[in-house]
Amino acid sequence: MDPNSLLTTIGFPLMIGGLFYVMIWRPQQKRMKDHAAMLGALKRGDNIVLNSGLIGKVVRVEDKEVGLEIAQGVTVKVVKAMIAEVRGKGEPAVANDTKS
């Protein structure tokens, strides 16, 4: 067997595997770790955004669920994994009005 064909046969899949790891696997693992840290730091009074776009205030934190107040006196239970963003306590809303 020719050394060049052996290098091509083994080297090309290794190169593709390394590229896959660097471009896809590592960033996904980092996102998962950051999301888990965000959920671990979740506390009562935080304003959060769900994956569906629903915004509310945390009133209760449990192991896998969160009590979310979406309007005054209206509380729903949501799964922690569906939380996309924690905005923090009392963070002001950003106005997207560009009219003068």
Specify whether 47 is located in the same domain as 11.
no
Specify whether 56 is located in the same domain as 71.
yes
The range of the structural domain enclosing residue 27 comes to 1-41
Distance of alpha carbon 34 from alpha carbon 40, whole angstroms: 10
Q: What would the 3-class secondary structure string for 26-88 be?
A: HHHHHHHHHHHHHHHCCCCCCEEEECCCCEEEEEEECCCEEEEEEECCEEEEEEHHHEEEEEE
- pTM beyond 0.75: no
Asked if residue 98 belongs to a domain, the reply is no
Specify whether 3 is located in the same domain as 21.
yes
CA count, 13 A, side-chain hemisphere, 6: 3
Total domains, the chain: 2
Asked if residue 73 belongs to a domain, the reply is yes
Specify whether 50 is located in the same domain as 85.
yes
Q: What is the pLDDT along the chain (100 residues), one digit of tens a residue?
A: 666 777 778 888 888 988 888 888 899 999 999 999 999 999 999 999 999 999 999 999 999 999 999 999 999 999 999 999 999 775 555 555 555 4
